[in-house]
Copies of this chain bind each other. A is one copy, B any other.
Amino acid sequence: MTEPLRLGIAGLGTVGIGVVKIIRRHAALLEARTGRPVMISAVSARDAGKDRGVSLTDYAWETDPVALAVRDDVDVFVELMGGHEGAAKAATEAALSAGKDVVTANKALLAIHGQPLAEQAERAGRVIRFEAAVAGGIPVIKSLTEGLAGNEITRVMGVMNGTCNFILTQMQATGQGYNALFEECGRLGYLEADPNLDVGGIDAGHKLALLASIAFGTRPAFEDVQLEGIQRIQLADINAAADMGYRIKLLGVAQRTARGLEQRMSPCLVPANSPLGQLEGGTNMVVIEGDSIEQVVLRGPGAGEGPTASAVMGDVLDLARGLRIATFGQPAATLQEVPAAQTGLPAPFYLRMGLLDKPGALAKVATVLGDAGVSIDRMRQYGHSEPTAPVLIVTHKCTRAALDAALDGLAATDVVDGTPVALRIEEV
């Protein structure tokens, strides 16, 4: 096949412009690699007049992305608008109906509507590709769906929100608190319009739902991701974790267990000397474990013009080369609907609480934990000037259910000030 592959690109923000730049800069290289020219027929964005630093005059302009998606001179609809409803969804559906393949960076759209969209794509004999939706430039979707396809995947983990990892590593590096760094992220433009997408773990949760689907052959089920943000992490936690040889990361973990599919996105402690523990700043990392591969770790930039455009182009070039597999790695009808595991596999937990200065307070805590079946591996009580004494506990492995029972028990005592911070320690 030597006819050009013709793209329609909807959304000319950072990523869209990055894609345009690659296609303009590397026309010869891309043709050498795929055997055919890769070209842009048309683009769409809200503001046609804006200077985007690259010439767009060679391309037809559509105001309406749906009109772009169905153009006769478009083979692949590249959706870079974002948002899980509205124009992105309508244009993706229109593109599939019109027999176009779709390449998208839209994690929310696929995490929430992935199943019906994949089914629609298959009915039309088309595919949806979404490498750019997960972990930016890291070719993790391809590695998991194709390179590691001979494995039964046992666990997938990832640090996939650069803003959260920036805040957590800067807390440790600079000694600033969460609020100060959150505000700094706002000034630097690192936060989504709704910051809860970042610090609440929603953005990373969308990515985890997509990884879980392709890892385990299950329907994408974002609604089943157990979400916990980083807003409650204090400098005291960062420092206590470091003292004990850990780092705190907003970590996504997906695992298929006898009790169902476990999908957690929450702040966890990981060993400081592990690849995940060593990951600093905005870089992303995905850890894939399988029955044959043991463990593969992929690390790279999780956002930005170049890296995300690189991922989009990886998908586009696969299509140019005629490489096509089902959206989630196997036919949508065969994706399993697996119940969500109500509780994670047992793990050690980190607890931090303020203990009121009363006789026997520590003994009460130990008794409550013991009664709930939670045994203590390590405990530290720090000197203090306030009326409450900071106490850190690392438990032996226990279930989250047992831990929650213990937390309820602690709340019923009169010795614990406020709600303890409880973080899972993930074995990596």
Contacts and interface: CB of A to CB of B under 8 A. Distances in A.
A308 to B, nearest CB: 9
Interface in A273-290: 273, 275, 278, 290
Interface in A1-49: 18, 22, 25-26, 29-30, 32-35
Interface string A144-164: 001111111000000000000
Contacts of A292: 18, 22, 137, 306-307, 309-310, 313
B137 A143 contact: no
Given A18-B292, A298-B296, A298-B297, A139 B147 contact: yes
A87 interface: no
Name the prevailing secondary structure of the A interface residues. mixed
Nearest to A321: B325
Interface string A288-304: 00111111111111001
Given A314-B150, A316-B150, A306 B293 contact: yes
B313 A150 contact: yes
B293 A310 contact: yes
Contact of A139 (B278, B296, B314): B296
A331 interface: yes
A278 to B, nearest CB: 6
Nearest to A301: B294
A245 to B, nearest CB: 15
A88 to B, nearest CB: 22
Nearest to A136: B293
Identical subunits present: 2
Interface in A84-124: none
A33 B329 contact: yes
Contact of A142 (B147, B312, B331, B334): B147
Contacts of A139: 142-143, 146-148, 296
Contacts of A317: 146, 149-150
Contacts of A275: 275, 278, 299
Contact of A137 (B294, B310, B313, B325): B294
Contacts of A318: 146
A300 B294 contact: yes
Nearest to A317: B149
A135 to B, nearest CB: 10
Interface of A: 18, 22, 25-26, 29-30, 32-35, 131, 137-139, 142-143, 146-152, 217, 273, 275, 278, 290-301, 304, 306-307, 309-314, 316-318, 321-325, 329-331, 334
* 7 closest Cβ pairs, A-B complex: A150-B313, A139-B147, A292-B306, A296-B300, A292-B310, A297-B299, A149-B317
7 contacts: A137-B293, A149-B313, A290-B310, A292-B309, A292-B313, A322-B324, A323-B325
Given A33-B149, A275-B278, 19 more contacts: A22-B292, A30-B149, A32-B330, A32-B334, A33-B329, A138-B296, A139-B142, A146-B318, A146-B323, A150-B310, A151-B313, A278-B278, A292-B306, A293-B310, A294-B306, A296-B298, A298-B298, A298-B299, A323-B323
